[in-house]
């Protein structure tokens, strides 16, 4: 699982770091201890009876692909093994969209992954970051979230409406 975000305190609780925050919650709930390997934070977590590798690229969003490609190569993985957690400006609060593959849709982190991996055939899950509940004139990706646990679990998937 790859969580996209930007490193540093300045970005820590911004909506653009939804992927980082989701992995932080998963790591905390599973007791997974991470470590920095080159340019990525990596942890192994027990999820549903299997071991999942949690990865947060420590480059900025626009350069996420390189660190992810290096982790995949080191582990003998392929893009088909990925689930990428990312913010999605098009979704409303509480909505989660899961896609098996797709274009980057203007998201620079997904663009970087596609370029570095040579394909956009990897699963991705987007969570709300904007939509109509956040007016176009507001700083949607830089606005702060008070608690990553609240952001990542305040609405259960059963309460979220499906999206195409």
Contacts 24+ apart (CB under 8 A), 151-159: 151/18, 151/21, 151/127, 152/18, 152/21, 152/22, 152/25, 152/127, 153/25, 154/94, 155/93, 155/94, 157/96, 159/94
- Judged by phi (left if over 0) then psi (alpha if -120 to 50, else beta), residue 47 lies in beta
What is the rounded CA–CA span in Å between residue 11 and residue 142?
Answer: 7
Q: Give the integer Cα–Cα distance in Å for 116 and 95.
A: 28
Q: Per DSSP, what are the bridge partners of residue 73?
A: none
- The answer to whether 120 and 101 have CB atoms below 8 angstroms apart is yes
Point out the residues that are catalytic: 16
Of 22, 19, 16, the closest CA to residue 4 belongs to 19
């Amino acid at each position: 699982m790859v969580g996209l975000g930007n490193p540093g305190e300045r970005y820590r609780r911004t909506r653009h770091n939804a992927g980082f925050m989701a992995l932080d919650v998963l790591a905390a709930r599973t007791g997974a201890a991470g470590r920095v390997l080159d340019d990525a934070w990596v942890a192994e977590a027990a999820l549903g009876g299997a071991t999942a590798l949690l990865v947060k690229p420590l480059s900025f969003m626009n350069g996420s692909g390189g660190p992810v490609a290096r982790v995949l190569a080191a582990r003998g993985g392929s893009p088909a093994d990925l689930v990428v957690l990312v913010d999605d400006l098009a979704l409303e609060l509480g909505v989660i969209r899961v896609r098996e593959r797709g274009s980057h849709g203007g998201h620079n982190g997904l663009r970087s992954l596609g370029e570095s991996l040579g394909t956009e055939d990897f699963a991705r899950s987007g969570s709300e970051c904007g939509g109509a509940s956040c007016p176009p004139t507001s700083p949607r990706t830089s606005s702060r979230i008070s608690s990553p646990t609240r952001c990542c679990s305040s609405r259960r998937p059963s309460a979220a409406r499906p999206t195409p």
